[in-house]
Structure 1
C-alpha cells in the first residue's frame, strides 16, 4: 500500500495500464489515458518506487521488480462501473464455473489436494478426480463411482444457493430481454435459485439426470426417485446400484465426464438451441462471468466468443482475475462478496 493517497486522480489508472502492458513509456500513458505530455511525465514520476523505477545505468524506465501486483487499488471504481453496466443493460448472460458454488459451501476441487480433502477415501486410494469422473470408473469400480456421485447428489440437494444467486436472478428479471445462464456446473443450483429451466444451458449436463451406460434407447430420466445411501468413509454406494429402466444395465449420471464417448448430450443440445435462439434476439448482452478458471476453460471460451459479438464483460474470480486489465472489469473477489458489493453500488441508482 502507498503511504499517502496520490494527488492525481489518474494515478491508479496509470498504474493499471503500465502493469498490464509492461510499458512505462510516456507515449503509452498519453495514448491510453488521453492526456498531455507534461501530465504523463508527472504521473510516471509519481509511480517511481511503486510500479516503476529509473535505471541510471541504462538511462531507462522499467517495471519495479517488487511492484505490488496483488492489491486492487481500483476495486471500488470497478464495483461502481459494474453496477452502472448492470443498471443500463437490457439483457444479461451469466457464465458460471465451479467457483460460484464455493460460497454456498460446496467443496473446492482445484488440484488433487483439494479434491482429496473433500473425499479422503479417494485420497487414500490416490484416485484423482479425472479417474473417478470417467466412464471407465463405472466399468472398473462401479460402487465407488456411484458412491462419489451419490454423495455429490445428496450434497447438492441439501445445499442452499448463496444470496448472490438471488441478486443475479433479480437483476436479470429487471432487464428488458431477461437473462440466460451458461454454466459448466452440474449441481442444478441456478434452477434451485429460481432461474427458469428454459433459460439455463448446462453444457456438461446435470447430476440430477441419469442415462444408461449402454445408452440403449438414448433416453434420459430424472433422479427424483433416487435416494443415495453412501458409506462416506469408504466412498462406496450401499445396496443395489441404479440401473436403466429399459434394459437393466448400470445407470450413470447424464454428465460429460473425462474421456467420455458415451455421454448422451440430447438434453444439453436442446438447452444450447434455446440459448442460441435467445442470443439471436438479444443484441450484445452484458456478460457476468463467475468462478470460471483456465484449467478447464469451457466457460472462458464461451465468454470470449460473447466478447467477439460485442458483449461487455464483468469477470469475478478470486484466484484467476487479471486485476490490471483495463479493457474489462475483473474482480479478484469471491462470488458472493463481489455480487453484494455491486448490489450496494446499485442502490445509489435507485
Structure 2
C-alpha cells in the first residue's frame, strides 16, 4: 500500500468516526502493552512463562489460594505503577467530545480506561482491584489508590462480613462472564454502526463473538493490532500498529 493510499484510508476512517451514531471500542490486553503491562498471549505473553491453570483458574484458586493471590498481588503492584497511554486517552477524549456515542467493552482488568477518563466502560473480565467473598458473595470494588491500604500482601483478603476468604473480582478460567456485563456488551455491539477492535487476539470466547453482533447490524469493523488475528478477514480496515500509535490519528 502506498503512502497516499494509507493516508486516504485514515481520512476515510476519520469520516466514519465523525458520522457514526454509536461507536464501540472492544479492547484487549494489547492496548495496555505500551503502558508496560504484558499481554497474556503471543511470544512474550504471560502464559508463556506461567501456568494459567494454576494461577488464573477457579480450580487453581480453590486448591492454592495463597499461590493465586501471590500472582495477583504482583500484577496489582505492576498496574499501580503503570499509567494509561495515548490509546486509552484518545478513546476517553472522543467519548467526552461525543457524549452518548462511545462505549468501551474491555477484556482488561487494569482499569486504565477509567483512569484515562472513560466513563462508559463494560469490564467483561472484571476488576483486578475488586474482591468477592467465596462464602457470602459480598463484593468490594476498590481501585489502585486504595487497594493496598485495605489489604496486606502478607495474607489472603478476608471478608469484612463473614471473615471467609475472598477472591479477586476477575473472571478466572472455568468461570462464566458476569451476566449483566455480557448482556450489555451484546446489546451495545448489536446496536453500533462502528466497532474498533483494539489490541485483542480475539482468541477468548465468548468475548470474541462480539464483532459478529456488530456485523449483524452492518457495522464497520476496524482492527488496530500489531499482528493479524483469526478474524482479520472480517475487518473492513486493519491497521498494523499499536493503539498508542494509531488511535490518536484515527479519532481526531
1:147-226 matches, cutoff 5 A: 147-175=70-98, 177-196=100-119, 199-213=120-134, 216-223=135-142, 225-226=146-147
- What is the distance in 2 between the residues matched to 1:101 and 1:88? 27
Encode CA deviations 1:79-103: one digit per residue, 9 max, x unaligned.
2221121122222111111111111
Question: What is residue 249 of structure 2 aligned with on the other side?
Answer: 341
- What is the distance in 2 between the residues matched to 1:92 and 1:134? 33
- What is the distance in 1 between the residues matched to 2:91 and 2:147? 30
Query: What CA RMSD, in Å, does the superposition of the two structures yield over aligned residues?
Result: 3.3
**1:258 CA drift (Å):** 0.8
1:84 equivalenced with 2:15 (yes/no)? yes
Q: Compute the TM-score of the two structures, normalised by the length of structure 2.
A: 0.84
- What is the distance in 2 between the residues matched to 1:298 and 1:326? 17
Q: Compute the TM-score of the two structures, normalised by the length of structure 1.
A: 0.62
**1:326 CA drift (Å):** 8.9
1:97 equivalenced with 2:20 (yes/no)? no
> Contact conserved, 1:291 with 1:316, CA < 8 A, in 2?
yes
Question: What is residue 108 of structure 1 aligned with on the other side?
Answer: 39
> Contact conserved, 1:99 with 1:290, CA < 8 A, in 2?
yes
Counterparts in 2 of 1:334 and 1:181: CA distance versus 1, 3 Å: same
Gaps of 5+ in 2: none
Question: What is residue 166 of structure 2 aligned with on the other side?
Answer: 251
1:305 equivalenced with 2:224 (yes/no)? no
Largest Rg, 1 or 2: 1
**1:129 CA drift (Å):** 2.3
- What is the distance in 1 between the residues matched to 2:205 and 2:5? 26
> Contact conserved, 1:98 with 1:291, CA < 8 A, in 2?
yes
**1:278 CA drift (Å):** 6.1
- What is the distance in 2 between the residues matched to 1:149 and 1:238? 10
1:1-350 matches, cutoff 5 A: 74-111=5-42, 114-115=45-46, 123=49, 127-175=50-98, 177-196=100-119, 199-213=120-134, 216-223=135-142, 225-227=146-148, 238-260=153-175, 268-272=178-182, 284-320=192-228, 328-343=236-251, 346=252
Q: How many residues were matched structurally?
A: 250
2:212 is paired with a residue of what secondary structure? helix
Gaps of 5+ in 1: 1-11, 13-70, 118-122, 229-236
Counterparts in 2 of 1:238 and 1:319: CA distance versus 1, 3 Å: same
> Contact conserved, 1:78 with 1:331, CA < 8 A, in 2?
no
**1:252 CA drift (Å):** 0.6
- What is the distance in 1 between the residues matched to 2:104 and 2:232? 27
